[in-house]
Amino acid sequence: MGLQGGRDTVLPVREGELSSLTVAGLSKAFGDARAVADLDLKVGEGEMLVLVGPSGCGKTTTLRCIAGLERPTAGRITIGNRVVTEIDQGVFVPPEKREIGMVFQSYAVWPHMTVYDNVAYPLKAIGVLRGEIHDRVMKTLRLVQLETLADRYSSQISGGQQQRVALARSLVAEPKLLLFDEPLSNLDANLRLQMRVEIKELQKRLGFTSVYVTHDQTEAMAIADRIAVMDRGMVRQVGSPRAIYDRPANTFVAGFMGTTNLLEGSVQEVTDAEAVVRTSGGITLRAIGARGAARGATVHVSIRPEALQLCPLEKPAAAANVWPATVALSTFLGDSVLYRLEVAGHTFEVHGPSTEVFEVGSKVTLAVEPSRCTLLIE
């Protein structure tokens, strides 16, 4: 499928590599609406894959299909070496038999049970011996620093602590796969940053395999080993956070993952690694990622705001792409200054250092390395 081109080009899980979760041809329709359309995913052992995308892109539906909370319309899901869903064969293992853990958006900490009982629940459900339960619950509670709150009820602990209870509960039975459904979206900003680090540390320490759903691209980049960017039920690109950010495969990913300047233009010249593009506004620039681009083709070029350099007009930077520009708007952000610049009919967003501020209306030089201009065919 053309739209999924990025998947094959960027960091695929190689054939034969140990994979803890395989999703193949997953589709889910609600009535006439298709939430997930023929989706493939692989997650390696001990890897954290983040599904990210705008609301309604199908990421939560995908996660719920993996959990067994939704029955897909078509597709095959394998956890470890066990097929848990294969619609063609009529295989559908109910959620409780999938040996997974899940952290929900609402935490779903049962209000009629203590912290201890919440965490002990998965062990009791699978019939772990009584003597063993206590040790494992307390060990897990220590892991999330809740050992002193074991006797509390959910109404007596904070939102962050409830989040940790949910985490401990999902970990306690040492599941093959851990699922996170926007676990941090109900926390306030500071706590969110802190929990993000804690989840990442736990994952590195315990080495669990996990799929993590979020709509927050910053969170996705901070926590992921690999990111799958989803849109309208399809994966648009899979790759490391770095690759996704620096080498977006298409305009959707470039626009969704962080802010970017997208310029439309046509390819003038193609060399091994670079292409020369003439934009609709009439400026010429050199960009990388030219593989597959043909002369005359209409393309987009993505340039991140922080990749652009601003210089005073009188001492132009030594770079391949240099254009004169006018400052249309400048917003002081504390650690940096956000400019809006006019260049030959294009508007650029640029991050500049707060040490040197250009006034609105001043003429400047805008420069960017070709290696930081990404050519996008889609």
Partner 1 sequence: MADPVASSAEHANASLAAIFAMRLRASGATPAEVVTITVLTALVLWLVLYPVGWLLWGAFHKGPPGAAEAWTLENFTEVFLDPNHWILVWRSIVVGVGVTALATAIGAPLAWLTVKTDLPGKRWVELSAIVPFFTSTFIGALAWIQLGNPTNGVLKFWFGIPTNVYSVTGIIWVTGLYMAPYMYLFTAAALRNMDTTYEEASFMSGAGLWRTLTRITYPLILPALLSGMTLVFVISMGIFGVAAILGFPAKLHLLATEIYVRSLLVPPRFGVATVSALTLMVITAALIMLQRWALRAGSYALVSGRGFRIKLYALGKWKRLAQAWCFLYALLAVILPAFVLIKVSLQPYPTPRFGPWTLENWTVFFSNDNLLGTLLRSLYLSTGGATLCVLLTAMIAHIIHRSRAPGRRLLEQVSVMPIGIPGIVMGLAMIWAYVTLPVWGTLWVVILAYMTLFMPYGVRALGANIVQIHPELEESSRVHGGSWFRTFRLIMLPLLRPGIYSTWILLFIIFIREISAAVLLTTTGTRLFPVLIFEQWTAGEFNVMSAGALLLTIIMFAVIALFKWGFKVDVIPSYR
For residue 305, the one-letter residue type is P
Judged by CB, which is closer to partner 1: 94, or 345?
94
Judged by CB, which is closer to partner 1: 1, or 206?
1
Judged by CB, which is closer to partner 1: 54, or 95?
95
Q: What is the DSSP string of 78-143?
A: EETTEEEEEGGGTEE--GGGS-EEEE-TT----TTSBHHHHHHHHHHHTT--HHHHHHHHHHHHHH
Distance separating alpha carbons of residues 142 and 330, to the nearest angstrom: 49
Judged by CB, which is closer to partner 1: 28, or 304?
28
Judged by CB, which is closer to partner 1: 6, or 68?
68
Residues that bind partner 1 (CB under 8 A): 24-25, 27, 29, 34, 38, 67-71, 73-75, 87-88, 92, 94-96, 98, 100-102, 104-106, 108, 110-112, 121-122, 125-126, 166, 169-170, 173, 179
SS3 308: coil
Distance separating alpha carbons of residues 42 and 21, to the nearest angstrom: 6
Judged by CB, which is closer to partner 1: 87, or 297?
87
SS3 84: strand
Residue 145 C-beta: closest distance to partner 1, Å: 21
Residue 270 C-beta: closest distance to partner 1, Å: 36
97: number of CA atoms within 13 Å, CB side?
Answer: 8
Q: What is the DSSP string of 199-228?
A: HHHHHHHH---EEEEES-HHHHHHH-SEEE
| Residues 180 and 103: beta-carbon distance below 8 Å | yes
Residue 78 C-beta: closest distance to partner 1, Å: 15
How many residues comprise the chain? 378
Residue 107 C-beta: closest distance to partner 1, Å: 8
**SS percent in the chain: helix, strand, coil, step 5:** 30, 35, 35
Judged by CB, which is closer to partner 1: 36, or 290?
36
Count of C-beta atoms within a 10 Å radius of residue 311: 19
Residue 220 C-beta: closest distance to partner 1, Å: 22
| Residues 68 and 92: beta-carbon distance below 8 Å | yes
Residue 129 C-beta: closest distance to partner 1, Å: 15
Judged by CB, which is closer to partner 1: 24, or 320?
24
Residue 179 C-beta: closest distance to partner 1, Å: 8
Q: Which residues pair with 226 in a beta bridge?
A: 49
Distance separating alpha carbons of residues 85 and 91, to the nearest angstrom: 5
Residue 38 C-beta: closest distance to partner 1, Å: 6
